[in-house]
Amino acid sequence: MNYFFWDASALGTPQQRMFLLVSEGKINEAVALAREHFPQLPGVMLQLADALVRAGAKVAAVALMTEQAKKKDAYQGYTRWLAEYHRQHGDPQAALEWQQKVFTQHPSVESFKVLLEVSSKIGQWEQVRAAALNALEREKKLGPLIEIALHEGDVARALELLARVSSGWGWRDYKWEVAQAAEKDYPQAAIALYKELAEQAIGARQRNTYQQAAEYVKRVKKLYERLNAQSEWDAYIRALRTQYARLPALQEELWSNERQGIVRNDLVFSIVGKQARIGAGARWLSEFLVKNQTEIRRRLLGH
């Protein structure tokens, strides 16, 4: 009877041979093949690490990923792999150390939440949190600091950080998120931010940005209503209409808001060349509506 013995070193591509070696339990040979052929292919390296774990060669997998993660300009996925591995396999101290590196490489609310999870398990959250935020302060990474402040519900801190963001900084404008968060306890700050956003949107001079501006104006209106600051709203909307009187598309978007009931009271209608102000008394209002019902219907329905 003839027996055939497969030699993994003689089969297929290097990648195929590497995984076959793992299946045969030849871990050192598989890792050596990876170092030789795939040092610049992190996707293959990560697949190998997963295969090693499945094969029970966890020590080899961790050693390989640690080696790769410590290289200059290493792929950040290696660090994430190590942090996740130690989280899943019960080494909280190692998980914390690698998650701190993940947060340093990619500071975000998500990596911050994982940092909270792993550090809390060993009672180190307060010092870990302070160190993480101090590092962001030193590096002037205001975006992640704002995101984290909002995540923690510290709106005052978010407003303070936002004020430090210079014009044109970065690629993301956090005014919208901060304004929304500020509405409840800091309505005046929210109003100021919505006004800034409206001006930015108008400045783009596009129909879709006029629509955005109208949405911001809607927010301003609602906040003024909540504050019982009708006169301030009147002054704002009147000034806005006057300033941009030569932008008919913007005026249409503002009127569109009005048709939806967003801007109802104390508005100035320009009808037949004169100003007619709503709210001067029931009798006058009734007479006014009857007399001008055709024009009002045209305005409100957009006909």
DSSP 192-226: HHHHHHHHHHHHT--HHHHHHHHHHHHHHHHHHHH
Split at pLDDT 50, 70, 90, the class of 81 is very high
Is 197 inside a domain boundary?
yes
Q: Are residues 275 and 228 in the same domain?
A: no
Is 24 inside a domain boundary?
no
Could you tell me if 103 and 95 are in contact, meaning their C-beta atoms sit under 8 angstroms apart?
no
Q: Are residues 262 and 182 in the same domain?
A: yes
Is 65 inside a domain boundary?
no
Is 38 inside a domain boundary?
no
Q: Are residues 202 and 280 in the same domain?
A: no
Reply yes or no on whether the pLDDT at 247 is more than 90: yes
Which range of residues forms the domain containing residue 187?
A: 178-266
Q: Are residues 260 and 182 in the same domain?
A: yes
- Kindly tell me the sign of the dihedral angle through the C-alpha atoms of 35, 37, 42, 44: negative
pTM, full prediction: 0.77
Q: Are residues 279 and 221 in the same domain?
A: no
pLDDT in tens, 203-214: 999 999 999 999
Q: Which of 230, 164, 165, 233 is nearest to 194 (CA)?
A: 233
Residue 205 vs residues 174, 202, 237, 251: alpha-carbon distances, Å: 21, 6, 19, 12
Q: Are residues 187 and 248 in the same domain?
A: yes
Q: How far apart are CA 276 and CA 272, in angstroms?
A: 10
Q: Are residues 230 and 298 in the same domain?
A: no
Q: Are residues 247 and 286 in the same domain?
A: no
3-state secondary structure of 91: coil
The amino acid at 161: L
Q: Are residues 182 and 241 in the same domain?
A: yes
Number of domains the chain contains: 2
Task: Write out the H or E segment, with its range, that includes residue 270.
Answer: strand 268-271
Asked which of 236-250, 261-275, 285-299 is least confident by mean pLDDT, the reply is 261-275
